[in-house]
Amino acid sequence: MRTTLLLFCFLGILSCTNQQKEANNATENAIPAALKPSAEKHPILKVDNPYVSLGRLVEGDSVFHTFNFKNTGNLPLKIISVNASCGCTTPKWSTDVIQPGKKGFIRVKFDSKGKEGKLQKTITAYCNTLPAENRMAFKVEVVPKK
């Protein structure tokens, strides 16, 4: 019984590791050859304010925030995808290639419907950067409707 339980735990850990590797491989495969980063040439996604407070809002209301960034690297930057930590946050982003020294954006909409209390949400942009994951976050307090 113990051996079976340990085996299932081990297989569960392996499957999580494989899913993360698959996500990284999918990001790598989506990058055009001319934009593949190397130790010498790579883009850097530098967010002006990577962690912000969006204040308080009433449950059911929505709030928008734009994370502005600059490519401070020496290779054009391409955002492959942007994921939010939950379905209540919807991202939109610069779809064009961002040349070195130029700016781009990631705009998020947070919908507080069904939410309450102090919350923190994370946004992860997958790019041709090293590493591929670029995180930013916001906190918000949702107060109940009266």
Res 9: pLDDT: 47
SS3 35: helix
Closest CA to 50 of 146, 120, 127, 112: 120
Res 143: pLDDT: 97
Res 1: pLDDT: 55
Mean per-residue pLDDT pooled into runs of 10, the chain (146 residues): 49 47 59 82 96 97 98 96 95 96 98 96 97 97 93
Within a 10 A sphere around the Cβ of 19, how many other Cβ atoms? 10
Q: Which two tokens mark 89? A: 């946050």
Alpha-carbon distance 6 to 84, whole Å?
A: 33
Q: Which two tokens mark 20? A: 């993360």
Res 35: pLDDT: 83
pTM tops 0.95, yes or no? no
Res 30: pLDDT: 72
